[in-house]
Amino acid sequence: MSSPNDTPILDLLASMTADSIAVSSLDPDELMLVRIAALAAVDAPSVSYLTNLEAIADVGIDAERVRGVLAAIAPIVGTARIASATGKIVDALDVVIEVAEQDRPS
């Protein structure tokens, strides 16, 4: 029987992400920018952005570069997808901030 802390789906996604990073010939920052573009193109949910935020920060990608990617793909994916992606990134950042505040010692 599984415990309430088991996260098999999230664990699977993390494993798939790690595997894709390991076999990619792109530099880590290029890879994460491509992933942001792909997430926007498929109108991914907020949790998909959330699972990539740590890796994005780890490779030193700032908000300006993410905006640059979104601007570059806007003519291809459309403004609705870009607006959706922006909102979902904000939602994901809100979760990160909320978790950080809960983890902070009182």
* pLDDT at site 100: 82
Q: Name the DSSP class of 26.
A: S
Question: Is 0.75 topped by the overall pTM?
Answer: yes
Q: Considering only 5-9, 89-93, 100-104, which range has the smallest mean pLDDT?
A: 5-9
In a domain, 91, yes or no: yes
Contact (CB, 8 A) for 88 and 79: no
Domain that holds residue 37: 25-103
Look at residue 7 and tell me if it is in a domain: no
Query: Which H, E and C letters describe 81-104, residue by residue?
Result: HHHHHHHHHHHHHHHHHHHHHHHC
* 30-56 pLDDT tens trace: 999 999 999 999 999 998 898 888 788
Q: Provide the number of structural domains found in the chain.
A: 1
Q: What is the pLDDT of residues 2-36, one digit of tens each?
A: 555 677 887 888 788 888 888 999 998 999 999 99
